[in-house]
Amino acid sequence: MDGVRLHRLGKRLIDLARQVTTDSGDTALTPGEVAVIEDVFKHPGSVVTEIQARTGFAQSHVSASVSRLREQGLLVSEPDPADRRRTRLTVADIARRAIMRRAGRPADETIAELVGEEKAKQVLKLLAELEELLT
């Protein structure tokens, strides 16, 4: 398998994971907002400049995303005790619970819709083996 095929497979798996972990009725978040929430989820207590460095987005984009996510109640901000000019961010409890609930959804149904019931069993077995080998 060459790098291009591996990249396509990785992208397809990410798309399937997104399909499994989102609802059609979910609040629509931009891909940038999703990246910011994911970053803050992995790095609680982050400041905008740290998020910007890890995501590679422009600081203005991160700041705008953080502002929208705070308005929606998905991120919580607190002043940095060491430097009151900076704001530390964490994922709000309601968002954290939703993320954890969605992360636990099984992929079986989504994969079965894609490849059919019989092949889904094989695909799920291969994915479990691949996960074991690569993680």
DSSP-assigned beta bridge partners for residue 81:
none
Q: What is the pLDDT of residue 18?
A: 83
Q: What is the pLDDT of residue 30?
A: 84
Q: What is the pLDDT of residue 103?
A: 83
Q: What is the pLDDT of residue 24?
A: 53
How much is the pTM?
Answer: 0.69
Cα distance between residue 71 and residue 69, in whole Å: 5
Q: What is the pLDDT of residue 20?
A: 86
Token pair 């430097």 in the structure block, residue: 83
DSSP state of 89: E
Long-range CB contacts (< 8 A, 24+ apart) of 67-72? 68/33, 69/29, 69/33, 69/36, 69/37, 72/27
- Using an 8 Å Cβ cutoff, are 110 and 19 in contact? yes
Inter-helix orientation angle 3-21/108-115, to 10°: 120
- Using an 8 Å Cβ cutoff, are 15 and 65 in contact? no
Q: What is the pLDDT of residue 19?
A: 84
Q: Residue 100: what residue type?
A: M
Q: Which regions in the chain score pLDDT beneath 50?
A: none
